[in-house]
Amino acid sequence: MPKNIVEMEIEAAIAELPDTKTLRLKWPENYDPSFKTGQFITVYWPDTPKYKRAYSLSSCALDKGYFEVTVKRDGKMGTRIVDWAAAGDKLFVIPPVGRFLPVYEDKKHLVCVAGGSGVTPFRGFAREATYRELRTRITILYSVRTTNDIIFNQEFRELEEKNPHFKFNVTCTRLAEEDPWSGRRGRISADWIKSIATDMENTVFYACGPTALVEGTEQLISKELGLPKEQLKLEKWG
């Protein structure tokens, strides 16, 4: 079956950080795709149809009328989006696909490990769970260099206030010793994971971000914690 590729207008281009931008892509009239939170779309500019990039949705399946993707300045596509994309511009969009899907069950605990822009799909995870008032526990373990690199910090804190089953935990890896940050420092470790995931049997681990972080998380979960691969879902790039 051919893919229903559609042209979408950028309804909003929101600067999250100096090197990170969220695009809100408005669905055209009568467009109502069937998709799931955690999937990704592929986009390309009308003037460069051969150059395509896939981006995880940072919106969720309950956000109707638009897709949102959050992009860091990286490579040709990321640089053009962050530096030049503006409301009114248009992109072609290949509909959502992918299997990086949240397991929304009452007894499950979703531990989401992210680095950099790898946190983007977990915004969708937390949004849907909060909108639906689900009892599924969701904990994000987010590794950034400094506090200036935290994407969606305000929204995640607001979701924490609305959803007693959601927690957003940040660790900084490159802060100066004199920095006033009172939160966690250092890389994500097996000990930190074990302190968060107290019921391993009902925990599903998700890792998203740069290859080094995702493969390191896979080592922690499968080798140091000895859990089966069925409890780990991966999404990596770079």
Tell whether 93 and 113 lie within a shared domain: no
Mean pLDDT, the chain, integer = 95
Tell whether 211 and 164 lie within a shared domain: yes
In a domain, 118, yes or no: yes
Q: Which of 76, 97, 118 delimits the end of a domain?
A: 97
Q: 85-112 pLDDT, tens per residue?
A: 999 999 999 999 999 999 999 999 999 9
Closest CA to 97 of 175, 12, 34: 34
Q: Which of 97, 132, 163 delimits the end of a domain?
A: 97
Tell whether 144 and 202 lie within a shared domain: yes
In 31-181, DSSP assigns E strands to 40-44, 53-56, 66-72, 90-97, 109-115, 137-144, 166-172
Residue 209 has pLDDT above 70, yes or no: yes
Residue 156 has pLDDT above 70, yes or no: yes
Residue 2 has pLDDT above 60, yes or no: no
Q: 67-92 pLDDT, tens per residue?
A: 999 999 999 999 999 999 999 999 99
Tell whether 113 and 46 lie within a shared domain: no
Domain that residue 65 falls in = 6-97
Residues linked to residue 140 through DSSP beta bridges, in sequence order: 112, 168
Residue 57 DSSP symbol: B
Tell whether 35 and 126 lie within a shared domain: no
Tell whether 174 and 132 lie within a shared domain: yes
Tell whether 126 and 53 lie within a shared domain: no
Tell whether 59 and 160 lie within a shared domain: no
In a domain, 123, yes or no: yes
Residue 135 burial (CB count, 10 A): 14
Tell whether 18 and 92 lie within a shared domain: yes
Number of folded domains that form the chain: 2
Tell me the CATH number at 151. 3.40.50.80
Of all residues in the chain, what percent carry a pLDDT higher than 90?
Answer: 97
Q: Which of 43, 72, 97 delimits the end of a domain?
A: 97
What sign results for the dihedral spanned by CA atoms 83, 88, 90, 91?
positive
